[in-house]
Amino acid sequence: MDDLVARLHEGLPAAAVLTDPDVTASYAHDKASFCPAGAPAAVVLPRTVEEVRHVLRTASALGVPVVPQGARTGLSGAANATDGCVALSLTRMDRVLEIDPVNRIAVVEPGVVNADLTRAVAAHGLTYPPDPSSWEECTIGGNIGTGSGGLCCVKYGVTAEYVLGLDVVLADGRLLRTGRRTAKGVAGYDLTRLFVGSEGSLGVVVGAVLALRPAPPPQLVLAAEFPSARAAGDAVCSIMAEGHLPSMLELMDGTTVRAVNALTRMGLPETTEALLLAGSDSTDPGADLAALAALCTAAGASSVVPAETVAESELLLAARRSALVALDAVKGSSMIDDVCVPRSRLADLLEGVAGIAERHGLTIGVCAHAGDGNTHPTVCFDAADPEESRRARVSFDEIMALGLELGGTITGEHGVGVLKKEWLARELGPEGVELQRALKKVFDPAGILNPGKLF
């Protein structure tokens, strides 16, 4: 360790290298605190690309693992440290380098906070659509690493669709530039897409060219209460089958609604079994919401209430964004699943999760990006109770198995990390795992980049 720290200091300011165990321990894991994590040998906080290159050259020469980190808001343990690693925190590389309204791009460093970018481009009449629930904390680099989604994905898509080009430091310290700044481009293999969602296992993103869109009109939202998950699922299917394109289509089951009320005192309707939030940011949102309301009513909604103002709509959005925090507060710990199923199987997933919760005697709330079929079943448990913790883990696995059985995937936006390694292998099959491991070996032959994640 002494040699590692000495060599790191050769190319880094003294304040950029942290070795106090009490300090480095705080960088050991992301928000999946129940996942295994090791003790970093050092935490490095670079401000420049050259400083990142120095870290990677040093680590490569010494065979030391490197774990890239953003704001550590992830939910799968992808940013968890391994014993003796360099935890490479990129939060100080937080500059928006360029905003180009003509070409509708932004060039940013990885530590830029998602919401800060949104506010910066808004001054130019533009928007960066991907908006994870943690958008006030999470960084663009972390969003790229996990392939994040968000509440507006149903209309505007996910992170991968907005990353045009990347600057990436490879395991040996070389700097690779991928992609483009142009609206179109198909030159060679799409290495940019390969890095999106790779969880820091192929290289360290130090810059990104991001696509922007014209800012839409303010969004209005309606809230529809349903007596069952099946009825809410039918409403989602009707909305999509009729060709509507809501700016948001989010669902909270009754357990989640009650948890949000307990945390925020927002007064959401606690008698509902499922609350569907549908938004429109078109030029005539009132007409859009009226059409969506009619479909919800036809599917069996017991109440449909449109927000009359943007401020009321923002309150409903705030309730949805607080769902995961609220569920975590139910028992003090939670395992947050990230199963995505075909929209037509959404109700099957919700009913199946309810059955799993009853069978194991657990509280499991579900919130979902319903328009995408991307659900977040959240298993609430007392981490100090070994038996309850065991049942929580069993139920978590059963939910993933259910998702695959319904034709879905084990992760729609949170990534694999250490939490879902076993399940990735089940989803991909042996041939898929073999090819992905071979790809990693091309980019990281010594295996020093975020080892123990994904595979």
Q: Report CA-CA distances (Å) from 299 to 231, 296, 351, 368.
A: 6, 5, 17, 18
Average per-residue pLDDT in the chain?
A: 96
Q: Answer for the pair 129, 399: CB distance below 8 angstroms, yes or no.
A: no
Distance CA 185, CA 320 (A): 37
Q: Answer for the pair 255, 366: CB distance below 8 angstroms, yes or no.
A: yes
pTM: 0.95
Predicted confidence band of residue 34 (pLDDT cuts 50, 70, 90)? confident
- Read off the pLDDT of residues 181-191 as tens digits, 9 standing for 90 and up: 999 999 999 99
Distance CA 150, CA 321 (A): 10
Ramachandran angles phi, psi of 250, nearest 5°: -115, 150
| Count of other CB atoms within 10 angstroms of residue 1 | 10
- Read off the pLDDT of residues 376-387 as tens digits, 9 standing for 90 and up: 999 999 999 999
| Domains with residue ranges and CATH for the chain | 2-89 (3.30.43.10), 96-214 (3.30.465.10), 220-405 (3.40.462.10)
- Read off the pLDDT of residues 326-369 as tens digits, 9 standing for 90 and up: 999 999 999 999 999 999 999 999 999 999 999 999 999 999 99
Reading phi first (left if > 0) and then psi (alpha if -120 to 50, else beta), residue 307 is in: beta
Whether 32 shows a pLDDT value over 90: the answer reads: no
- Read off the pLDDT of residues 412-453 as tens digits, 9 standing for 90 and up: 999 999 999 999 999 999 999 999 999 999 999 999 999 999
70: its two tokens: 């953003």
Whether 33 shows a pLDDT value over 80: the answer reads: no
User: Percent of the chain scored above 70 by pLDDT?
Assistant: 100
The pLDDT, as a whole number, for residue 133 is 86
Instruction: Label residues 94-121 b or e (16+ Cβ within 10 Å = b).
Output: bebeebeeeebbbbbbbbbbbbbbbebb
Distance CA 256, CA 336 (A): 13
Predicted confidence band of residue 408 (pLDDT cuts 50, 70, 90)? very high
- Read off the pLDDT of residues 290-336 as tens digits, 9 standing for 90 and up: 999 999 999 999 999 999 899 999 999 999 999 999 999 999 999 99
Whether 118 shows a pLDDT value over 90: the answer reads: yes
19: its two tokens: 């070795």
